[in-house]
Amino acid sequence: MTDVKELATRAKAASRKLGRVDRATKDRALLATARLLRDEAGRIAEANAKDMERARASGLAGALVDRLEMNAKGIAATAAGVEYVASLADPVGSRDSMQRLQNGLLIGRQRLPLGVIAMIYEARPNVTIDAAVLCLKAGNAVLLRGGKEAAETNRVLGELLRQALTEAGLPEDAVGIVAPTDREGIKEMVSLTGLIDLAIPRGGEGLIRFVAENARVPVLNHYKGVCHLFLDEGCNPKMAQDLTINGKVSRPGVCNALECLLVHENVARSILPDLGRALLERGVQIRGDSRTCELVTGAVRATDDDWGTEFLDLVLAVKVVRDIDGAIEHIERYGSNHTEAICTESHTRAQRWLREVDASCVIVNASTRFNDGGQLGLGAEIGISTSKLHAYGPMGLEGLTAEKWVVLGDGQIRN
């Protein structure tokens, strides 16, 4: 048996136990994790220094080396995050409202864990802890396959997670650390039907596509976020400016940042000159269509490649469209099913937007930045799904569980 199959087989056995334990036991493991992170901060830093040193030596770009770092402040924040997840309600075993049928049967649904989750991710080692504790809290075992750049750090974090499980009386195999291998290794991992119940790839689009195309187990995709904001005819110009600047400037490197502004042609002249100036003042490069370039001094002409691009930077594509239909058509063609917002005073068009735009989060008169598990009340998220199956949008503890039917009778038989 290969290493990864061995780990998955053990994780499957551990998942059966983990799926049955009560919340207090799982929380003990989480709180022990937080304590160990703090107690062993020195050991983590040491391993992390090795990863960063090796990354620098291999010529990795500075920004990517920085992403590897797990310093004292980062460790403390991660530990606090673990304690926060421990404070969240346990989804497992919760039942929705039971209803009594005419024949006296009482029926409803009850949450259960999925089983074994395979996390496949790159760089940032804090994902190791964040993902593991969410999986464990929801009663799942987890296989963690991080990137090779963070291998030393991830190995130590994995040992701490396993130690915490043992301290809580839970099987340590509920967390398996898969050594980073080439893509063939990933392919083998996501082919383990019957052992792995769900694969969640997080990282660059190339990694995600590779997993999606090679998996035999179900995959939750977290592709790019190409988020649009449509400024409708009659919208409030002040609100239009606030939402655009917040969407683009507050944190340009994240998936819910604004990448493309669509403007109704009847308000382009009244809104775009001031808005363009405000964006340029904040260092945003504007890549506009011809009409935008007429109205905004300093805008550069967009190329075809700019539509549908996730810039993750202070760059904004801007296009003037004929109306809401033009905006929806543009999003159908270039959107990524992530987050799509409208700024409007029209009730009818707001309702059309909510109904007709296909995205994991559709927004009226608020910033695209709100599509986030924390902001939407999930407590914590393991990612944002842009595929509709199982979960669409931010995925928290509930997204890591399923529901089975429960039927309570007193001897009913079927005719």
**Is residue 358 a contact residue for a second copy (CB under 8 A)?**
yes
- Return d(Cα 180, Cα 178) in angstroms, integer: 6
Taken in order 217, 220, 224, 230, the sign of the CA dihedral is positive
**Is residue 313 a contact residue for a second copy (CB under 8 A)?**
no
**Is residue 69 a contact residue for a second copy (CB under 8 A)?**
no
- Does residue 406 contact residue 111 with C-beta atoms inside 8 Å? no
Interface characters, 214-243, with a second copy (x: CB under 8 A): --x-x-----------------x-xx--xx
Binding-site member from 99, 182, 184, 283 for a second copy (CB under 8 A): 99
Q: What is the DSSP letter of 261?
A: E
Site for a second copy in 75-94 (CB under 8 A): 93
**Is residue 139 a contact residue for a second copy (CB under 8 A)?**
no
**Is residue 375 a contact residue for a second copy (CB under 8 A)?**
yes
- Does residue 342 contact residue 353 with C-beta atoms inside 8 Å? yes
Q: How many residues bind a second copy (CB under 8 A)?
A: 69
- Does residue 174 contact residue 15 with C-beta atoms inside 8 Å? yes
Q: In what order do the strands lie in the sheet with 116-121?
A: 175-177, 141-145, 116-121, 198-202
Binding-site member from 64, 72, 80, 107 for a second copy (CB under 8 A): 107
- Residue 60 CB, shortest distance to a second copy, in Å, is 31
135: its two tokens: 């999986």
**Is residue 377 a contact residue for a second copy (CB under 8 A)?**
yes
Amino acid letter, 315: V
**Is residue 356 a contact residue for a second copy (CB under 8 A)?**
yes
Interface characters, 387-406, with a second copy (x: CB under 8 A): xxxx-xxx-------xxxxx
DSSP for 28-82 reads: HHHHHHHHHHHHTHHHHHHHHHHHHHHHHHTT--HHHHHHH---HHHHHHHHHHH
Residue closer to a second copy (CB basis): 42 or 194: 194
Residue closer to a second copy (CB basis): 162 or 264: 264
Interface characters, 332-351, with a second copy (x: CB under 8 A): x-----------------x-
Residue closer to a second copy (CB basis): 100 or 322: 100
The CA radius of gyration of the chain, in Å to the nearest whole number, is: 24
Instruction: Mark the segment that binds a second copy (CB under 8 A) among 31-39, 174-182, 272-280, 385-393.
Output: 385-393
Instruction: Mark the segment that binds a second copy (CB under 8 A) among 29-37, 106-114, 266-274, 319-327.
Output: 106-114
Burial degree of 144 (CB within 10 A; 0-12, 13-18, 19+)? buried
Site for a second copy in 241-280 (CB under 8 A): 242-243, 245-246, 250
Torsional class of 194: left (φ above 0), alpha (ψ -120 to 50), beta (otherwise): left
- Residue 253 CB, shortest distance to a second copy, in Å, is 14
SS3 214: helix
Contacts of 359 (CB under 8 A, 6+ apart): 331, 335, 337, 338, 339, 340
Burial degree of 328 (CB within 10 A; 0-12, 13-18, 19+)? buried
- Residue 274 CB, shortest distance to a second copy, in Å, is 17
Instruction: Mark the segment that binds a second copy (CB under 8 A) among 37-45, 56-64, 167-175, 364-372.
Output: 364-372
251: its two tokens: 């944190």
- Residue 116 CB, shortest distance to a second copy, in Å, is 11
Binding-site member from 70, 227, 361, 397 for a second copy (CB under 8 A): 361
- Return d(Cα 398, Cα 405) in angstroms, integer: 16
Residue closer to a second copy (CB basis): 5 or 54: 5
Site for a second copy in 34-53 (CB under 8 A): none
Site for a second copy in 193-212 (CB under 8 A): 193, 197-198, 212
Instruction: Mark the segment that binds a second copy (CB under 8 A) among 67-75, 102-110, 149-157, 177-185.
Output: 102-110
**Is residue 25 a contact residue for a second copy (CB under 8 A)?**
no
Q: What angle in degrees, to the nearest 10, is found between the helix axes of 41-57 and 23-39?
A: 70
- Does residue 399 contact residue 373 with C-beta atoms inside 8 Å? no
| Residues engaged in binding a second copy (CB under 8 A) | 16, 19-20, 93, 99, 101, 105, 107, 110, 112, 114-115, 193, 197-198, 212-213, 216, 218, 236, 238-239, 242-243, 245-246, 250, 332, 350, 354-356, 358-367, 369-371, 375-377, 387-390, 392-394, 402-415
